């Protein structure tokens, strides 16, 4: 069953993702749509993506300058989407799965306590390809699961592993974001050092129809807490 967002006016959404640009492709349109409805959004971005391989074409960043460049890109992306509250948690890119779980969980728990979000958005652990994505989702799920049942906000997960639908079925929440492609594309383009990557943008300019087909809907799996 698909849950459209007709009746779901969210009070406060907490988004927890590990890398600047993780918000751009999967959730930017959904967030822009909620923000237009008056929702507060807090985005906790765990790292600065400082181990990223894309440095611009030709390379204008290097390993030393990349974190500062990506921080600015992240701020520009959030501004494009309308996100009111950005928290950069300062973890090291690529290392989330090795990080002290108590430290990770305590920071997420502090955000849950402070914000009391009506919805949490993160990656689906095990179905999100990048080890940082899976580890971030796992930390969020662990932390939310520790709350008493009545206090747990629903968690909507992004997933894109090849075996996702085969193993956990179709997404339960499909958001039409065609009216929010302007902020979404601006969010993607804010990540200039990353945006030129061939696998993200393909080799040719997309026309409006192709942009709508490729970026016009966003999909989420509601995490099934026991």
Residues that bind other proteins (CB under 8 A): 51-64, 94, 129-132, 161-162, 196-199
Q: Calculate the CA 215 to chain-centre distance.
A: 15
Instruction: Give the shortest CB-97-to-other proteins separation in angstroms.
Output: 11
Instruction: Give the shortest CB-62-to-other proteins separation in angstroms.
Output: 5
Q: In degrees rounded to 5, what are phi and psi of residue 111?
A: -65, -40
Considering only the C-alpha atoms of the chain, give the largest distance between any 2 of them, rounded to a whole number of Å: 52
Two tokens at 204? 């040719």
Instruction: Pick the closest to residue 141 from 221, 217, 76 (CA basis).
Output: 221
Q: Name which of 11 and 130 has its Cβ closer to other proteins.
A: 130
Q: Name which of 63 and 178 has its Cβ closer to other proteins.
A: 63
Q: Name which of 80 and 157 has its Cβ closer to other proteins.
A: 157
Long-range pairs of 183-187 with CB within 8 A, sequence gap ≥ 24: 183/28, 183/29, 183/32, 183/80, 183/81, 183/82, 184/24, 184/28, 184/29, 184/32, 184/81, 184/215, 185/211, 185/215, 186/77, 186/80, 186/81, 187/23, 187/24, 187/28, 187/77, 187/78, 187/80, 187/81
Instruction: Give the shortest CB-121-to-other proteins separation in angstroms.
Output: 21
Two tokens at 116? 């009391």
Two tokens at 4? 């459209």
Asked if residue 177 has a cis previous peptide bond (ω within 30° of 0), the answer is no
Q: Name which of 59 and 103 has its Cβ closer to other proteins.
A: 59
Q: Name which of 134 and 218 has its Cβ closer to other proteins.
A: 134
Instruction: Give the shortest CB-85-to-other proteins separation in angstroms.
Output: 28
Instruction: Give the shortest CB-87-to-other proteins separation in angstroms.
Output: 23
Q: Name which of 53 and 149 has its Cβ closer to other proteins.
A: 53
Q: Name which of 49 and 153 has its Cβ closer to other proteins.
A: 49
Instruction: Give the shortest CB-88-to-other proteins separation in angstroms.
Output: 19
Instruction: Give the shortest CB-185-to-other proteins separation in angstroms.
Output: 21
């Amino acid at each position: 069953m698909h849950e459209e967002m007709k009746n779901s006016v969210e009070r406060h959404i907490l988004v927890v993702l590990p890398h600047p640009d993780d918000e751009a492709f999967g959730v930017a349109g959904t967030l822009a749509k909620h923000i237009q409805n008056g929702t507060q959004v807090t985005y906790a971005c765990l790292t600065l993506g400082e181990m990223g391989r894309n440095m611009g074409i030709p390379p204008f960043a290097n390993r030393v300058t990349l974190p500062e460049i990506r921080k600015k890109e992240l701020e520009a992306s959030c501004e494009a989407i309308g996100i009111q509250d950005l928290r950069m948690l300062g973890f090291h890119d690529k290392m989330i799965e090795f990080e002290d779980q108590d430290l990770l969980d305590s920071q997420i728990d502090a955000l849950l306590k402070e914000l009391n979000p009506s919805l949490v958005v993160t990656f689906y652990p095990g179905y999100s390809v990048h080890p940082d994505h899976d580890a971030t989702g796992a930390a969020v799920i662990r932390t939310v699961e520790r709350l008493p049942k009545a206090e747990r906000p629903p968690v909507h997960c992004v997933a894109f592993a090849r075996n996702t639908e085969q193993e956990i079925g179709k997404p339960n929440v499909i958001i039409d974001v065609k009216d929010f492609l302007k902020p979404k594309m601006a969010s993607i383009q804010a990540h200039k050092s990353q945006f030129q990557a061939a696998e993200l943008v393909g080799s040719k300019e997309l026309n409006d129809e192709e942009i709508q087909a490729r970026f016009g809907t966003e999909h989420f799996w509601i995490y099934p807490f026991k």
